[in-house]
């Protein structure tokens, strides 16, 4: 059995999967905020319950929003104050008497999608999250690529390419990102960036769902805005694919629910790729909120 934990600031979600990657059991509890022992106990208790229910010693994988392990062996996650700064992987491996694996939640998202039955045959899978920010992960031959600092897949913190400046106008404000840098792609391509671009060009403040609703209603400004956004996304994705050269791109996050994006993106992407490059398959994510649990559980599948 494979146990996947999706741990966030408010909840800990456990999913238990069998060898066929089918979900057999799911449970959610509140994330302890004030006590590291309570944090460890919560996870340990859930694992023991699953072991007892299925009469096995399951494999444990955990996805967290942050850096799973620094050089000193410590977890760093700003919204997990009870666990941040502690040797979570080592402590849980000791308490549970098994190899506990931890990865970034964006990597777990990509891993979950890469192990979908329809996608398993693709050697290189790029997960792209278009949500509050822009992130993602990279999976090669079924295994997530973490990199030196667990930032593989932080596509949103690359800078806008020169073609994007031509598209948006050279007077476009170079926005400051939450990471401290200026001009990061996520400030324009995230859900908030989608809304900001609309305000910049049309001087009206709307949230992304409102703009998309207008698009569905045939509003000309919303239609023009979406076409510009798709062009911008294709330019940036073309740059990322020149480095990654993925066979499949899976798009998650709130904007992935806008189904027009994936088809339009596939049509426009070739203009931003090298002439010899073939356009990868582009799909919307299939597993939604369950992706974090699934990907964490599948951290053990490549053994």
Q: Is 5 annotated as a binding residue?
A: yes
Cα 274 from Cα 13, distance rounded (Å) = 42
Q: Is 157 annotated as a binding residue?
A: yes
Q: Is 274 annotated as a binding residue?
A: no
First to last CA, the chain: 14
Q: Is 108 annotated as a binding residue?
A: no
Cα 215 from Cα 218, distance rounded (Å) = 5
Q: Is 97 annotated as a binding residue?
A: no
Q: Is 6 annotated as a binding residue?
A: yes
Q: Is 57 annotated as a binding residue?
A: no
Q: Is 138 annotated as a binding residue?
A: yes
Burial class (CB in 10 A: 0-12, 13-18, 19+), 13: buried
Q: Is 238 annotated as a binding residue?
A: no
Element (H, E) at 12: strand 11-17
Q: Is 100 annotated as a binding residue?
A: no
Q: Is 136 annotated as a binding residue?
A: yes
Residue 149: count other Cβ atoms within 10 Å of its Cβ: 10
Whether 137 contacts 153, CB under 8 Å: yes
Q: Is 261 annotated as a binding residue?
A: no
Q: Is 139 annotated as a binding residue?
A: yes
Which of 261, 218, 283, 250 minimizes the C-alpha distance to 109? 250
Q: Residue 204's Cα: distance from chain center in Å?
A: 29
Q: Is 182 annotated as a binding residue?
A: no
Q: Is 8 annotated as a binding residue?
A: yes
Q: Is 212 annotated as a binding residue?
A: no
Q: Is 9 annotated as a binding residue?
A: yes
Q: Is 10 annotated as a binding residue?
A: yes
295: helix, strand or coil: helix
Q: Is 127 annotated as a binding residue?
A: no
Residue 132: count other Cβ atoms within 10 Å of its Cβ: 13
Q: Is 177 annotated as a binding residue?
A: yes
Binding-site positions for Zn(2+) = 157, 177, 179, 184
- Enumerate the known binding-site residues: 4-11, 133-140, 157, 177, 179, 184
Binding positions for ATP are 4-11, 133-140
């Amino acid at each position: 059995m494979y146990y996947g934990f999706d741990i966030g600031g408010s909840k800990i979600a456990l999913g238990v999967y069998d060898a066929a990657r089918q979900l057999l059991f799911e449970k959610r509890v509140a994330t302890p905020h004030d006590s590291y022992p309570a944090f460890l106990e919560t996870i340990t208790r859930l694992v023991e319950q699953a072991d007892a229910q299925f009469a096995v010693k399951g494999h444990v994988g955990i996805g967290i929003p942050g850096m799973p392990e620094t050089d000193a062996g410590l977890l760093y996650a700003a919204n997990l104050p009870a666990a941040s700064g502690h040797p979570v992987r080592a402590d849980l491996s000791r308490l549970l008497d098994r190899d506990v694996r931890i990865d970034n939640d964006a990597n777990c998202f990509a891993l979950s999608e890469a192990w979908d039955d329809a996608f398993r045959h693709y050697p290189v899978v790029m997960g792209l999250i278009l949500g509050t920010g822009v992130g993602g992960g990279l999976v090669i031959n079924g295994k997530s690529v973490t990199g030196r600092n667990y930032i593989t897949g932080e596509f949103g913190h690359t800078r806008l390419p020169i073609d994007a400046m031509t598209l948006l106008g050279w007077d476009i404000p170079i926005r400051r990102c939450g990471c401290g840098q200026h001009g990061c792609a996520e400030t324009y391509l995230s859900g908030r960036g989608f809304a900001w671009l609309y305000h910049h060009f049309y001087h009206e403040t709307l949230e992304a769902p409102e703009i998309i609703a207008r698009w569905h209603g045939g509003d000309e400004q919303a239609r023009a805005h979406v076409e510009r956004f798709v062009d911008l996304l294709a330019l940036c994705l073309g740059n990322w694919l020149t480095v990654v050269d993925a066979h499949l791109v899976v798009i998650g996050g709130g904007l992935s629910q806008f189904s027009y994006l994936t088809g339009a993106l596939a049509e426009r992407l070739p203009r931003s790729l090298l002439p010899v490059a073939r356009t990868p398959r582009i799909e919307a994510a299939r597993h939604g909120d369950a992706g974090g649990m699934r990907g964490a559980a599948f951290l053990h599948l490549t053994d």
